Copies of this chain bind each other. A is one copy, B any other.
Amino acid sequence: MKLKELAEQLGLSQTTVSRALNGYPEVNSATRERVSQAALKFGYSANANARRLAIGRIGAIGILMPNDRSERFGPHTSEFFSGLAERLSQDEMDLLMSPVINNDEISAYRRLISSKRVDAIIVTGPTLMDERVAMLTEAKFPFVLHGRTNIEAPHAWLDIDNAGAFRQAASHLLDLGHRHIAMIDGLKGHTFSEHRELGYREALLERGVPIDPRFIVHERFSDETGFREAQRLLSYAPHPTAILAGSMMTALGVFRAIRSKGYQLGKEVSIIAHDDVFPYLNASNMVPSMTTTRSSIRSAGTRIAEMLVRILDGEPVENLHEVWPVELILRQSSGPPVIPG
């Protein structure tokens, strides 16, 4: 039985029931008594701490604090955390963020495991050959990987179809007639970034369109790098008539660069951006509205928390692999190439 159901049975608010069960003086003793008898009768175990003790759980999930070497905290991090929180709060589980000393993530994970402060771990930002995944599998500590790695070790993971996203976006631009397409994505080595480049290359190869290595850019995600790199790309002759941007922040900079060169967005130069779906920056509201490959990183966080709970409940990690398809949402920022008259 859940708190909500117990509250309904009693005709009380969830807050009152929760406070009664936790013995707060704000709730009078008659109500406290009534609530605890009902809890007993319906088998509701009030105290999350008590439940955890009974099943040998700590009630916390561990994650490393992003540091400067890896992807820093950014808009995607906070949306991901927000998604995690949504699921963890259902079970009153905490999220423990542990620091990385001297950029040594392996040691940080070891400390986290030996501290006995967490039941399981979330690993983010994997590389193609991710030694952290090898170590955690070896240590037999429960974890879920956000993203994918080529390391052969049985483990749970959730990823979006990054190759598919960029393949679909590039194919669409090729269909429209573009032949000079650039991409500005995240740092090399990260799986998501390698996969996106792969998808981009596949689309071009399939049409026999030659790949210009100057048109493939890997950089940190920011408005500033988007602006700088797009300015550089647009200074070439011929310049790209379309740019794939790996993040919304990058895209803001690319927008500016296209405008500052005097090109019409979505006409002379098209742009398609990857959108993690931020509540405070909406692609459909931009001017022109932005064509995106879209996948909610918040939903990914919620799902990963769910997978962690399932691992702790005994589900084999071999069952816990998910690749989420990415939608291509067509809006005004992409169109057929137009040669300026």
Contact = CB atoms under 8 A, between A and B. Distances in A.
Interface of A: 3, 14-15, 18-19, 22-25, 32-33, 36, 39-40, 43-46, 48-49, 60, 65-67, 72-75, 77-79, 81-82, 85, 88-89, 92-102, 104, 106-107, 110-111, 113-115, 117, 139, 220-224, 227, 249, 252-253, 256, 259-260, 279-282, 285-287
A156 B188 CA distance: 44
A231 to B, nearest CB: 11
Contacts of A285: 223-224, 227, 253, 256
The CB with the most chain B CB atoms within 10 A, among A18, A73, A222, is that of A73
Given A65-B95, A77-B78, A287-B256, A279 B72 contact: yes
23 contacts: A3-B102, A15-B102, A15-B107, A18-B102, A18-B104, A19-B107, A22-B107, A22-B111, A23-B102, A23-B107, A24-B107, A32-B107, A40-B113, A40-B139, A45-B115, A46-B114, A66-B82, A74-B78, A78-B78, A89-B100, A94-B96, A117-B117, A223-B280
Given A78-B75, A285-B227, A85 B99 contact: yes
B223 A114 contact: no
A249 B95 CA distance: 27
Number of copies: 2
B40 A279 contact: no
A278 B256 CA distance: 18
A230 to B, nearest CB: 12
A23 B224 contact: no
A222 B22 CA distance: 34
Contacts of A81: 65, 73, 78, 97
Contact of A280 (B92, B221, B259): B221
A223 B281 contact: yes
B94 A94 contact: no
B67 A89 contact: yes
A114 B256 contact: no
Contacts of A48: 111
A117 B286 CA distance: 44
The CB with the most chain B CB atoms within 10 A, among A75, A88, A107, A227, is that of A107
Contact of A73 (B78, B96, B249, B256): B78
Nearest first, the 6 closest Cβ-Cβ pairs linking A and B are: A89-B99, A222-B280, A78-B78, A73-B82, A65-B85, A73-B78
A70 to B, nearest CB: 12
A33 B138 CA distance: 14
A319 B19 CA distance: 35
